[in-house]
Amino acid sequence: MSIFVCFVVLAFLSTSSGIKYKDNDKVILYVNKVGPYFNPHETYHYYQLPVCRPKKIEHKSLTLGEVLDGDRMALSEYDIRFTRK
């Protein structure tokens, strides 16, 4: 039985990118790729798995480094709000 690892990228508050959040603002969450823990070269797109697949997948435009690293980022369906308890 393989152990799968899920990579999720979160857009954090960053002064270098100029993103500023106010209370209750939506925080963008991207899903990336999944793969077996012991074989990092075998990866699959997050929504290729049979879990919570949205009707329409919106992919993020990737940088050259992200493409070379094998990233496959797409917007998630999660509703995360800044500083909401």
pLDDT per position as a tens digit, 61-85 = 888 988 888 888 898 888 888 886 6
81 and 25 Cβ atoms separated by less than 8 Å: yes
Please give the radius of gyration of the chain, using alpha carbons only, rounded to the nearest integer: 15
If one counts the domains in the chain, the total is: 1
Q: How far apart are CA 52 and CA 74, in angstroms?
A: 13
The DSSP code for 77 is S
pTM to 2 decimals? Answer: 0.64
Mean pLDDT of 17-22: 76
Which residue range is the domain that position 62 belongs to?
Answer: 4-81
